Amino acid sequence: MTDQLRLMAVHAHPDDESSKGAATMAKYVSEGVDVLVATCTGGERGSVLNPKLQGDPYIEEHIHEVRAKEMDEARQILGVKQAWLGYVDSGLPEGDPLPPLPEGCFGLQDVDTAAGTLVRLIREFRPHVITTYDENGGYPHPDHIMTHKITMVAFEAAGDPERYPGTGEPWTPLKLYYNQGFNKTRTLALHEALLARGLESPYGDWIKRFEQSDRPERNLTTHVPCGDFFEVRDKALLAHATQIDPDGGWFRVPMDVQREVWPTEDYELARSRVDVSLPEDDLFAGVRGA
């Protein structure tokens, strides 16, 4: 392959790109890969999770604009391009029974229709590789699950000239991955490494949830070495100031421990149109030189 490699990361909200695969993207940008983040919603219904900013009336009234500015700062830190799909955040319904999703939100869109918006972007950007969430959304937020659904449809449809006419010249992406950075194996390894060093672990509750879950473990096929870019990842995450507490659990694991114990970001290969040999250490394995 003599063409410039291109990677598209499809995410539900601004900040998801910085918590899931950010170091991978920064690594590939440093190697000359063209990287585009497709953000499905504006995060309009997201809560202000940083306690230092909670109660700010300007932020609460202008959350859409604030999160857009945060996204732009994170984009610049990572060195990626970014496009909005233009859907409205569904929020995270809570209660028993769960309340209905708000009218017009992303989670209530017709899947095939919403996928057309992503097909148009795929045909414009022409990615060789796409990343997104698995069928559980990584966690069961309605926007994450819908992101998975439209990405699966768009991956299959973008190269078919009979589908979504009028959305650009067909383009066939070659590989599709699910982000699996928050996997049990990594979490346990970091947890045990911290305890062995006499340090406090932020993962105790995570491990309890893993133990109580009846979901099977995911098949981690691809481990991208990107420890040199963990600081870039954290800087991009901190740019989403409304969503991230700089004194919170995200940043309690010393960088040297992260690099020693788990210096990769991890993925599950979901679709491939090229020959692969698993496990991999490169999202473009089988694409380079094809």
Residue spans of the domains in the chain: they are: 6-181+220-272, 184-217
Residue numbers in the known binding site are 13, 16, 144
Residue 250: band (very low, low, confident or very high) from pLDDT cuts 50, 70, 90: confident
Considering only residues 6 and 96, tell me which one the structure prediction assigns the higher pLDDT: 6
Q: pLDDT tens digits, residue range 126-140?
A: 999 999 999 999 888
Angle at 178 between CA 175 and CA 181, to 5 degrees: 130
d(CA 156, CA 228): 34
In this prediction, residue 1 carries a pLDDT of 52
The whole model's pTM is what?
0.96
Percent share of the chain, pLDDT over 90? 90
Q: Hey, which residues does 8 pair with through a beta bridge?
A: 36, 130
Percent share of the chain, pLDDT over 70? 99
> 275, 281, 288, 276: which is closest to 27 by C-alpha?
281
> Burial code of 129-154, b = ≥16 C-beta within 10 A, e = fewer?
bbbbbbeebbeebbbbbbbbbbbbbb
Judge whether 240 and 14 are in contact, CB under 8 Å. yes
d(CA 104, CA 102): 6
Cis link prior to 14 (omega < 30° from 0)?
no
pLDDT at 155 over 90: yes
Mean pLDDT value of segment 60-77: 97
Mean pLDDT value of segment 118-126: 98
CB-facing half-sphere around the CA of 7: CA atoms within 13 A: 28
Mean pLDDT value of segment 21-50: 97
In this prediction, residue 290 carries a pLDDT of 75
Token pair belonging to 228: 């040199």
Phi-psi region of 91 (alpha: psi -120 to 50; beta: other; left: phi over 0): left
Residue numbers in the known binding site for Zn(2+) are 13, 16, 144
Angle at 31 between CA 28 and CA 34, to 5 degrees: 60
Considering only residues 33 and 290, tell me which one the structure prediction assigns the higher pLDDT: 33
Q: pLDDT tens digits, residue range 163-183?
A: 999 999 999 999 999 999 999
Query: Lowest mean pLDDT: which of 13-17, 210-214, 219-223?
Result: 210-214
Judge whether 266 and 177 are in contact, CB under 8 Å. no
Select the CATH number that applies to the domain covering 6-181+220-272 from these four: 3.40.190.90, 3.40.50.10320, 1.10.3720.10, 3.40.50.2020: 3.40.50.10320
> 169, 165, 194, 173: which is closest to 286 by C-alpha?
173
Q: Where are the strands (E) in 143-221, listed by range?
A: 175-179
CB atoms within 10 A of CB 198: 6
Give Cα separations from 201 to 28, 44, 138, 205, 254 (angstroms).
30, 32, 22, 10, 11
